[in-house]
Amino acid sequence: MGRLTAPAIASKKVRAGDDPLVMVTAYDAPGARIASEAGADVILVGDSVAMVVLGYDDTLQVTVDDMCHHTAAVARAEPGCHIVADMPWMSYHVSPEETVQNAARLIRAGAHSIKLEGGRKRLPMIDRIISAEIPVMGHIGLTPQSVHAMGGFKVQAKHAEHARKLLAAAKSLASAGCFALVLECVPDRVAAMVTDEVDIPTIGIGAGSRCDGQVLVYHDLLGIEDRLVPRFVRRYADLRAVSVSAVSAYAADVRSGAFPSAAESYRMTDAEAGELDLCDRQVSSREMRW
């Protein structure tokens, strides 16, 4: 099966008999190859790169340059997945002209579409991006770029009034032409209501099982990031523990002289060694420490 296009994704609804969409983040070529080989439908080059790769406490620190750098790395791997790139904070807040230019940079870096956060107030910018023929994925509920305005990373739309507003935002994004919608950290019943009421696919993260797809952050699902494990993360591996143990074994081997072995070293012919008067020099692993 070929790579999904934005229009193909837009028509995927579980209620119409489609399989749920599988989206996973990736930020570099090895991650993109793994996601592709694992059969993910969509790779999100998320601004979560700020937290899980670049060591920041929130996503507000990454720039369009950063996102282009990571998007290009993912694209160079030529994954068989649709690539969505996140527009970082302040790249779509200032003017429509700047917004379209920034979206275009992400497409030129290798993305097939972009994602941005927020509801109705983003409609003018979304309209301009779509007018430039760039497909847009929406993102509502917990929008991490609003961490300060929201007062922290908190579950959203827990009250009926807020759930109604979320539904109105979802409908407005769908009417504006978004091809899919991320719902982050909202109660499962609210996500189900939105999923039933819009015709584009919903992709949930912390939004229960009744979405048209799911997304997880690569480093969370592989257990590379284990400092904070939100309730919605399922860890499918413990790569951090595996990695610490592998690097510890390497460190021990270097210190004992067990690494590198002769098989892991390059050889000079006896004739060449003779020229250098090195013929009877035996290189043991231990000697290679100098």
Q: Is the CB of residue 45 less than 8 Å from the CB of residue 69? A: no
How far apart, in Å, are the Cα atoms of 221 and each of 44, 135, 159, 194, 229? 14, 27, 29, 25, 10
Site for ligand KIV contains 32 (CB under 6 A): no
36 vs 48 by CB, closer to ligand KIV? 48
C-alpha to C-alpha distance for 115 and 183, rounded to whole angstroms: 12
Among 87, 140, 174, 215, binds ligand KIV (CB under 6 A): 215
Number of residues that bind ligand KIV (CB under 6 A): 11
Main-chain dihedrals φ then ψ at residue 137, nearest 5 degrees = -100, 130
Site for ligand KIV contains 182 (CB under 6 A): yes
CB environment 30-51: b (16+ within 10 A), e (fewer): ebbbbbbeeebbbbbbbbbbbb
Q: Which residue has the tokens 């959203």?
A: 156
Among 48, 71, 113, 214, binds ligand KIV (CB under 6 A): 48
To ligand KIV, the closest distance from the beta carbon of 230 in angstroms equals 10
Catalytic residue of the set 184, 225, 264, 275: 184
Stretch that binds ligand KIV, among 29-37, 43-51, 71-79, 162-170 (CB under 6 A): 43-51
Where are any strands of DSSP class E within 121-242? 136-141, 180-184, 202-205, 213-216
Site for ligand KIV contains 192 (CB under 6 A): no
Stretch that binds ligand KIV, among 40-48, 65-73, 89-97, 258-266 (CB under 6 A): 40-48
- Host H or E run for residue 34: helix 29-37
Site for ligand KIV contains 86 (CB under 6 A): yes
Active-site annotation holds for 78 = no
Q: Is the CB of residue 4 less than 8 Å from the CB of residue 19? A: no
Q: Is the CB of residue 96 less than 8 Å from the CB of residue 48? A: no
To ligand KIV, the closest distance from the beta carbon of 47 in angstroms equals 5
To ligand KIV, the closest distance from the beta carbon of 287 in angstroms equals 49
Site for ligand KIV contains 25 (CB under 6 A): yes
How far apart, in Å, are the Cα atoms of 164 and each of 118, 152, 182? 15, 21, 17
58 vs 253 by CB, closer to ligand KIV? 58
Among 9, 10, 27, 46, binds ligand KIV (CB under 6 A): 46
Site for ligand KIV contains 47 (CB under 6 A): yes
Residues at the interface with ligand KIV (CB under 6 A) = 25, 44, 46-48, 86, 182, 184, 205, 215, 217
Q: Annotated catalytic sites, by residue? A: 184
